[in-house]
């Protein structure tokens, strides 16, 4: 039975206090920082030395995972796996955000020690990544000692450089977002069910209330011009383009200094401010540092890039753009660290055209979805149908339709007809016509398919994956499958096969079989980041050697040594790539 993040509410326990951190954690001589090497303008390490590094946000443990979490980690995993297919070492980080007022209150309401509460929540998110076949290398927990030490070290540097000061702060505070918002970022909202008027964040819709307290501030206002200069010099830093424009407009309108601590009288479950344990470090500063601390920050000289920093891609939801695209780069500039190379933002999944919410019961349990449809199917569906610019609506009927009409009827059926065909030999066709020059396919019935599909679509798919656009790449893969299926059906090789010569149906049929097999081979390679298990089975059925399943072989004629299946092809429903779903309601 799976551990659940929430247990029955019990009487509140006393607020926990973190163990005092020894001063050495931020002053140790083992943590020298070479500001010249780590400046925000520094050039990245040579390609061969720096791993490709992709991250997801770290997720709060006070609520169970939903399909949006699954979507984020799958996008990141597809990007990472593609880089591996290109022969590059790639690292993926995901994990859990375990500090802050929300977690503190949730553990109190559950009557649990906060660390035990976080342990259980983290275990569920770990289980989700494993169940979804996510190949993460790092699993971040902000309660880990190395993360806490790195955060306190960063605080010490910010303080030493004069970026932090103490002041009384008054502003609109959201406990749900654990953030203060300026006046321009809140609005009056009429709650339809209750008729109550309340102030909410215009970005997240979370309720806010006016709060006054004394805490430390980060001089965010000083980074208005450096940020604008960075955006100008890196116009494609945030995708899609519309969110880049929104961020620029917000920074242009002015930045207020940011409150980056909370009184420990109100918040104890967090990382204490060095030398002032009356204050707890702001949970978002704590959380954002995870991307660097998990990559080894603070680094010893010469190892700055060994853990992957700077990140090549941050994959985030659209609701946390401000934190990652304004606050985070400002923190990094202040610390003298290189900025991430790209921020990929995605839209949300809705249910019944409205936002998913645990309070209203409108949520999709990702564990149930993975159990029902399998990890491979969910990975492909979410990537193919999910939105980057606009929200996408989740519906089981859409998954079933995609499975039956595309995966089963198009891709699976084509693989079965090709590999199980009695009138031809895939291996024989490759041997007989595979070495023909490209000119041999420029005329005749298959010329248009060869030119428009087999030559052009792989180039398009590769370009989209290189541009970190797995959604459009998945859609191009799907179009390639449909095109191949149409070509094979219209060519009807079963009608053109010659009667003489065992499994030697003639040159025309051999060409049809070869072009179809080449297409499926390339499709199988491209599908590996999306559907690791099914793609492996498809390539096994085609007899493609494991060493030839990389991006280098995603072009026609790159591999002529396949065609003998490595697995039993079966008959009837046995051995099908996509058998009928057990439940289709």
SS3 label, residue 521: helix
**pLDDT at res. 360:** 63
Read off the tokens for 199.
Answer: 């102030």
pLDDT tens readout for residues 529-543: 999 999 999 999 999
For 201-256, write each residue's pLDDT tens digit.
887 788 888 877 889 999 999 999 999 999 999 999 999 999 999 999 999 999 99
Q: Give the Cα separation of 222 and 158 in Å (integer).
A: 13
Residue 177 reports pLDDT greater than 50? yes
pTM tops 0.85, yes or no: yes
CATH 3.40.50.620 in the chain, residue ranges: 24-373
Fill in the DSSP letter of residue 438: G
SS3 of residue 343 by DSSP: strand
Please count the residues of the chain. Answer: 585
Give the model's confidence band at 583: pLDDT under 50 very low, under 70 low, under 90 confident, else very high.
Answer: low
Orientation angle between helical segments 426-433 and 507-527, nearest 10 degrees = 110
Return the pLDDT at 471.
98
* Parts of the chain belonging to CATH 1.10.730.10: 396-553
User: CB neighbours (10 Å) of residue 552?
Assistant: 13
Residue 192: pLDDT over 90: no
Q: Per-residue pLDDT averaged across 545-558, rounded? A: 97
- pLDDT digit string, tens, across residues 394-422: 999 999 999 999 999 999 999 999 999 99
Q: What is the pLDDT of residues 2-43, one digit of tens each?
A: 333 333 333 333 333 333 333 333 333 334 333 333 333 333
- State whether CATH 3.40.630.10 applies to domain 396-553: no
Query: What pLDDT is recorded for position 453?
Result: 94
pLDDT of residue 4: 36
Average pLDDT over the chain reads 88
User: Confidence band (pLDDT; 50, 70, 90) for 442?
Assistant: confident
Q: Higher model confidence: residue 524 or residue 18? A: 524
Q: How far is it, in rounded angstroms, from Cα 45 to Cα 232?
A: 23
Picking from 40-54, 55-69, 111-125, 462-476, which range would have the lowest pLDDT averaged per residue? 40-54
How far apart are the C-alpha atoms of 183 and 541, rounded to whole Å? 61
pLDDT above 90: residue 371: yes
CB 422 within 8 A of CB 502: no
Better-scored residue on pLDDT, 178 or 145: 145
- What percent of the chain is predicted at pLDDT more than 90? 74
- Confidence at residue 501, expressed as pLDDT on a 0 to 100 scale: 63
Count CB atoms within 10 A of the CB of residue 467. Answer: 14
Report pLDDT digits (tens) over 335-350. Answer: 999 999 999 999 999 9
- Give pLDDT, residue 237: 98
d(CA 143, CA 114): 10
pLDDT for 163 equals 98
Nearest-angstrom CA–CA distance, 564 and 559: 13
- Its CATH class, for the domain covering 24-373, is alpha beta
pLDDT of 61: 95
Q: What's the average model confidence in pLDDT over 347-358?
A: 85
User: Stretch 567-578: mean pLDDT, rounded?
Assistant: 91
Q: What per-residue confidence (pLDDT) applies to 502? A: 66
How large is the C-alpha radius of gyration of the chain? 27
For residues 506 and 480, which has the higher predicted lDDT (pLDDT)? 480
- Give the pLDDT mean for 262-289: 95
CA dihedral 408, 413, 416, 418 (to 10 degrees): -140
């Amino acid at each position: 039975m799976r551990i659940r993040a929430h247990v029955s509410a019990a009487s509140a326990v006393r607020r926990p206090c973190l163990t005092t951190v020894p001063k050495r954690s931020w002053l140790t001589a083992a943590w020298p920082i070479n500001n010249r090497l780590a400046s925000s303008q520094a050039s990245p390490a040579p390609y061969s030395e720096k791993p490709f590094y992709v991250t997801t946000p770290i997720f709060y443990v006070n609520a169970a995972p939903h399909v949006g979490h699954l979507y984020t980690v799958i996008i990141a995993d597809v990007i990472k796996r593609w880089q591996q297919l290109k022969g590059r070492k790639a690292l993926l980080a995901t994990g859990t955000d375990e500090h802050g007022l929300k977690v503190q209150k949730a553990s109190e309401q559950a009557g649990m020690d906060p660390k035990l509460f976080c342990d259980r929540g983290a275990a569920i998110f770990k289980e989700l990544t494993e169940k979804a076949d996510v190949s993460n290398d790092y699993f971040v927990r902000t309660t880990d000692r190395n993360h806490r030490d790195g955060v306190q070290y960063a605080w010490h540097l910010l303080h030493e450089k004069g970026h932090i000061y103490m002041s009384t702060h008054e502003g609109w505070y959201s406990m749900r977002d654990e953030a203060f918002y300026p006046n321009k970022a809140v609005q009056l909202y009429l709650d339809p069910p209750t008729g109550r008027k309340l102030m909410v964040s215009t970005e997240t819709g979370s309720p806010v209330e006016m709060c006054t307290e004394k805490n430390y501030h980060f001089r965010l206002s000083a980074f208005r011009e450096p940020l604008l200069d960075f955006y100008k010099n890196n116009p494609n830093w945030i995708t899609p383009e519309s969110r880049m424009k929104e961020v620029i407009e917000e920074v242009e309108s002015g930045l207020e200094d940011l409150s980056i601590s909370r009184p420990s009288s109100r918040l104890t479950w967090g990382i204490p401010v060095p030398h002032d344990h009356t204050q707890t470090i702001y949970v978002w500063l704590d959380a954002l540092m995870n991307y660097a601390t998990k990559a080894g920050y603070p680094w010893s000289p010469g190892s700055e890039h060994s853990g992957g920093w700077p990140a090549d891609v941050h994959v985030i939801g659209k609701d946390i753009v401000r934190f990652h695209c304004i606050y985070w780069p400002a923190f990094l500039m202040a610390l003298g660290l290189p900025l991430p190379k790209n921020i990929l933002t995605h839209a949300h999944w809705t249910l019944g055209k409205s936002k998913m919410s645990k309070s209203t019961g409108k949520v999709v349990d990702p564990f149930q979805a993975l159990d029902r449809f399998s990890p491979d199917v969910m990975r492909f569906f979410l990537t193919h149908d999910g939105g980057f610019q606009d929200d996408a609506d989740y519906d089981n009927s859409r998954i079933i339709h995609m499975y039956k009409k595309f995966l089963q009827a198009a891709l699976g059926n084509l693989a079965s007809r090709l590999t199980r065909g009695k009138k031809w030999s895939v291996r024989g066709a490759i041997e007989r016509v595979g070495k023909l020059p490209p000119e041999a396919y420029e005329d005749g019935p298959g010329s248009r398919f060869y030119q428009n599909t087999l030559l052009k679509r792989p180039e398009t798919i590769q370009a989209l994956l290189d541009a970190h656009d797995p959604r459009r790449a998945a859609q191009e893969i799907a179009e390639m499958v449909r095109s191949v299926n149409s070509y094979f059906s219209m060519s009807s090789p079963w009608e053109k096969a010659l009667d003489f010569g065992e499994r030697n149906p003639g040159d025309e049929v051999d060409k049809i079989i070869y072009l179809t097999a080449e297409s499926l081979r390339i499709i199988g390679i491209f599908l590996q980041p999306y559907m690791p298990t099914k793609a492996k089975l498809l390539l096994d059925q085609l007899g493609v050697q494991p060493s030839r399943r990389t991006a280098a072989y995603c072009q026609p004629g790159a591999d002529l040594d396949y065609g003998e299946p490595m697995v039993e092809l079966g008959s009837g429903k046995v051995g099908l790539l996509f058998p009928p779903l057990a439940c289709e309601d």
